[in-house]
Amino acid sequence: MADLKGKVAVVTGASRGVGRGIAEGLAEAGATVYITGRSQSSENPPAPRTIQATARAVDDLGGKGIAVAVDHNDDEQVKALFDRVAKEQGRLDILVNNVYKIPDPPAWGGGFWEHPISVWDDQCGVGLRGYYVASVYGAPLMVAQKCGLIVNISSSGGDGYTFSSSYGVCKSGVDRMAVDMAVELKKYSVAALSLRPAAVKTEFILDAVESGAVQMDLKAAQSPRFSGRCVAALAMDPDIMTKTGGIFSVAKLAQEYRFTDPDQA
């Protein structure tokens, strides 16, 4: 079976949550993973929910983790990230656009006119524009080598109302971005697609369930690394170009590629 040794990935927003799980899933296949985020730790071992903690987990799982502090609101920091990848690795095989800013307080329910306008900037700024900027700087590396995979992390909110109006716009945009980028990248044999986890046991959700803010059956929820194993399976698919421009659920791809959720295996 093919693996990802020698392959280079960038996972944005990977200090925790789905991003961390994706970095771990790629690590299981031996990838070198650049991990971005703003939360840092200088401790040894690193404090949880930081890019250094994720990098340590990637190392422990058989990959190589490289933590890079990046504010995805700053285009120059994003450009510097990909300049660094080009200089240090000379290639980029996988870009996972996952970075997202949860509004504080979270925009769950209520009318859009009742939420601060900053909710739009939180969700459609980093969580949509941030995907575009990272792709702008990451795609040239893939185009030059005539191979690569861009994965936009989305959700079912792209199809119907979930949480808030701004959330739906963000996720619909994430999906459409992947579909249209796939058209422009196809002649370079670079795939772009959108990936939808279901309910995921992220740290944010676990905290919300514990506080009573959210009701969820955690036994039925996916682990973050389930999404990571999905991205790894996609990256190892020799026929990945047949999926370019698609919008896929993690659960359905698990059936196709036969990977399991480590929390439910």
What is the set of active-site residues?
Answer: 167
Q: How far apart are CA 215 and CA 218, in angstroms?
A: 9
For 28, the token pair is 């299981």
Pair 37, 68: CB distance under 8 Å: no
94-97 β-sheet, strand order: 64-69, 32-37, 8-11, 94-97, 148-153, 190-196, 247-249
Pair 214, 208: CB distance under 8 Å: yes
For 150, the token pair is 């861009």
- Interhelix angle 51-60/17-28, nearest 10 degrees: 20
